[in-house]
Chain A
């Protein structure tokens, strides 16, 4: 039995639009303009126990929506899903005790109290036996190096420390499935690294199935063998990361800003041009040639600003689908 199974999982949001002002308010009582947003479009995914899968995609692509359906927070418009053999949105306690959801920037720990107090609450919530609880706390606080923070109020912790405590709390009951929604968002680089290591360790030692959403390429690169890329509600890639990565981490993106307009032909020989508008340009060049390209650009062209960066998910996706337009007019399945 797979840990997570989604078949044609679809979610359509119905947005009601209202004209501003009193006239609009009155009108909206009688007739409202419906706008349908296809947040998830026939998502099909099968994840076995123990896998560490990354859900990638730009903002609004449907990653969080899918995660919410798999956590039982949302009912799908159509399709089915099974997590650990349960239908998530039935919200059976037996199911809820076996999984965990962590959402970056949404705190579960009590603000004015030390993490330890919140841990005790979780112990009660998840009915963890005392000895198991003690053992888990010890292990988790050691792995995350937060033992010294157990008695410091959450509001006094830095964002990175807080996130680590949140993770520890989420794993106290040794869940078989862990959903991590943007766990490293807003964190400093050091914390991000530490948390990634922790996630990897957990996956290995506990054998838990971990689904991670992120729009940071680094998260995924560090953790996931397999990525599912979601764009405009659809799964557009579901395969090993290695294959995806080999195409893109070997390149660097250069963004040039010019003091006066240049011709596109002037950029010849500098690498692949991914965008150009006269006063600025984006180039792609192999990693070990980036410095040379930069030097050439600076000497040849009237450059006032240059930015060299790694490709991010938006670049990857844009590149992936440059010849395939996103699903603009979906054949939406509307809720009854």
Chain B
């Protein structure tokens, strides 16, 4: 697995470069950390307000809803930290022609294009999300077992892969729709739905969010997985959907690179 080690080493360099850069604008970095955490806190406040007046929301207790909120924030935070900044920059790179230089490097172009920048401020949100999940587990008195946690981690990995897959598929479109920026902005706005328990929606919408735009698998399913209230078929379903989206994004990327080289960039 020499290849894997090489890519990991490369990734370490990316990470270090970003760290050095952020440390220079320390004030800005801290402000960004504060902002990302603030949005999570904002939603936690809403949860507090609702649960001050009730014990359950669509069958979810307060602790379970906190686990859900934390899981969503964790998944989204990781996406924003690792991949979204690069994917959003893609149309600009293509338009300016600097994507050419990515193609000439002896490294996989999708790796280089999607992993180059790391938004470190988002790790503040990620850290906070862990705490929220932990707090939720305690609040709901969820018994933690090795299998439970393992299932949760697998589902969270799938969650990130699902978000990555969809974001990547959308941004790969910018190879053809070069002039349209912010293709992904609409997706990110809509993906916020994932932080709410999917059970609050009526059946049609719920099905859409489970099978068509699988946002239910981003946070609801992992939270259920941890709380042991998940239907067993959801675990393989999550893995299958995540795998499918990753494969689709890879194939679409290769197609895009081919088209780029045929059309003249």
Contacts and interface: CB of A to CB of B under 8 A. Distances in A.
B104 A74 contact: no
Interface string A115-155: 00110110011110000000000000000000000000000
A129 B141 CA distance: 54
Given A68-B265, A107-B98, A127-B6, A112 B21 contact: yes
* Interface secondary structure of B, over-half rule: helix
Contact of B13 (A65, A89, A121): A121
Contacts of A255: none
Given A93-B106, A113-B20, A103 B264 contact: no
Contacts of A335: 262
A78 to B, nearest CB: 12
Interface in A81-130: 89, 91, 93-94, 96-97, 99-101, 103, 106-108, 110, 112-113, 117-118, 120-121, 124-127
A39 interface: yes
Contacts of B9: 124
A71 B265 CA distance: 13
A216 interface: no
Given A73-B104, A121-B13, A39 B264 contact: yes
Given A112-B21, A117-B17, A125 B264 contact: no
Interface in B199-221: none
Contact of B106 (A75, A89, A96, A108): A96
Contacts, number: 77
Contacts of B96: 106
A213 to B, nearest CB: 14
A113 B100 contact: no
Question: Most A CB atoms within 10 A — which of B14, B101, B107, B265?
Answer: B101
A297 to B, nearest CB: 44
Contacts of A248: none
Interface in B65-107: 96-98, 100-101, 103-107
7 contacts: A73-B100, A89-B261, A101-B101, A112-B24, A117-B17, A118-B17, A121-B13
Interface of A: 11, 13-14, 39, 65, 68, 71-75, 89, 91, 93-94, 96-97, 99-101, 103, 106-108, 110, 112-113, 117-118, 120-121, 124-127, 335
